[in-house]
Structure formats: structure tokens, C-alpha cells
Amino acid sequence: MTTAFTTMESPLGRLLLSGVYQDGGPVALTAVTAPGQKGAIGEPADGWMLDPEALAPAVEQLTGYFAGELTSFDLPLAPIGSEFRQRIWAALDDIPYGATVSYGQLADAAGQSPRAVRAVGGAVGANPLLVIRPCHRVLGANGALTGFAAGTDNKRLLLELERGSTLF
């Protein structure tokens, strides 16, 4: 399976977007990563094909999000992860724009025991679709800005954007 990639400038720095071609359909997004993001690939891998046109819908929607004009994404997604991680990542999609939840609330929404908070936190931290799947909306039980793979300053920036601050 061939992977397409492109980059875009954002308030988080230069994002790397990658996706896989689908038979006759649009590219399905597999990852969106920020510079220095923990556990994420920072550069295109050998064999990836630069294809800005194929990823233009994702760039357009992310640009709208960062401009404060888009509150949800409508893109084909194909993140790679275990069944457990896929369940947690899918539950992220249900957190409304501008809202936050705790890791325990996310565990409950994903049908997991509240005792699974650490595993849920690991899955959230491994989310390959930064911003698209809003892991920045998950906070500690006390409301603290707990870990974010792209850094807590970027988490704060995204939450401020969703509260009405302008980034661009």
C-alpha cells in the first residue's frame, strides 16, 4: 500500500500529514504529526509519495480549523492501532468542539472500566491523528492539562482556539 504525504504550516509548526490510497476513493488519513511530537514520525518514510493534491481536503479542513471557521472534520481516516486503541480514538470523535472530558469519562464513553484510565491515557497519547481526533480535549480528573504528545503549550493553544481565541 502506497503512502501519500504532504506538509502544512500551522500554529503548532509544520505538520506532516500522511495517508493511504484507497481503491477509487480519496486518500484515507493515517497520521497528522507536529514537530517534536513524542512517538511520532517526523519525516516522510522511504517510499512515501509527495502528493499535496491527494491530501488537499485534509489541509483545507485543518486550515479552516486553525482559522476558527471549522469545528469538526469530515475526512476518511485509517489510523493504525490495536482494537483497544481504535475504540479509544473513535471515542475522541464524540467530544464536542470546545468541550473537555477527563480520562475516566473517556474510558466510560469507550465502554471501558474507569480502572482502565492508564491504558486509556496510553491510547490517547498514541493518537496518530493530532487535532483531527481531538486528544487535546482530554484532561486530568482535576482539570489539569496533563500530557499531550505535541506538548502542553500546544494543548493549551488548541483549547484556547476552541474557546474563541484567534490563531491566524
By annotation, the residues acting in catalysis are 135
| One-letter amino acid for residue 2 of the chain | T
**What sections of 36-142 are H helices per DSSP?**
56-66, 83-92, 103-109, 117-125
Query: Strand, helix or coil at 142?
Result: coil
Rounded alpha-carbon distances, angstroms, from residue 26 to 21, 51, 55, 138: 7, 12, 8, 30
CA separation for the pair 66, 10 (Å, rounded) = 7
57 in Cβ contact with 92 (< 8 Å): no
